Every structure is written in C-alpha cells, then in structure tokens.
Structure 1
Amino acid sequence: FLCNWGPHAAFQTLQDTCCAIPREVRMVRIPCTGRISKSLLFKAFEMGADGVALIGCQTG
C-alpha cells in the first residue's frame, strides 16, 4: 500500500526509469496511510498475499 503523494510518485519513477517490478508484487495506491483500516490490510492476506508493506509519506 502506497500513499498517493510522495511514495507512489517515487515508485512510478523507479518503475519507469530503471527497475522491473516482479509481477507478483502488487502496488495499491491509497489516499493516506494514516487512514488505512486493519480490515483492508487483512483483506490482502485473505486474497492470498504472502506479505504486506505499508509505505507512507515522510514525517513532517
């Protein structure tokens, strides 16, 4: 799960310029990591995810 602001833009740049992201990795853009619910995180596991990363904006 990537915050819509800094982290998602950084991921897009990385993907577009230099790095191939494995097909097994799914990026989900969300409005704000501070507002994500536990149920959404658990849903990823229910759908077969082996792990979940929550990547938010820089503090400040």
Structure 2
Amino acid sequence: MRFEHDGCERFAAVRAQLLDLAGDHETAVTHYRAAAEQTTSRSEREYLLRQAHRTS
C-alpha cells in the first residue's frame, strides 16, 4: 500500500507505532527500521531502532 507521505520518517514511525499497537509486530519492526534509516537525527534514529528491537 502506497501513501502520499511514503518516504517521510515521521509517517513511517507513526505507522510503525499503530501497527505495533494493533499487534502486527513484524510489519511494525520493518517500519521502525525504515523510519530510522530515513531520519537525519541521531537521537531519533537510536530511539526508532530501540523500538524495533523492543517490538521484535
């Protein structure tokens, strides 16, 4: 599924969180990692990678 905001790390992070809350942990991890790759903020990248690790 493609959305207008694909490629935006915040959109990917929100999508990951919602997927995580819905119980789709495997897909959430994918989106957390994608968001981490897209951000330029070191602290945000570390947070997103921790979320991915916590969720897996």
- Alignment TM class, shorter chain as reference: 0.3 to 0.5
Which protein has the bigger strand share?
A: 1
Q: Which has the higher relative contact order, 1 or 2, with Cα contacts under 8 A spaced 6 or more apart?
A: 1
Instruction: Compare CA radii of gyration and give the structure with the larger one.
Output: 1
TM-score (norm 1): 0.31
Question: Under a length normalisation based on structure 2, what TM-score does the superposition of the two structures give?
Answer: 0.33
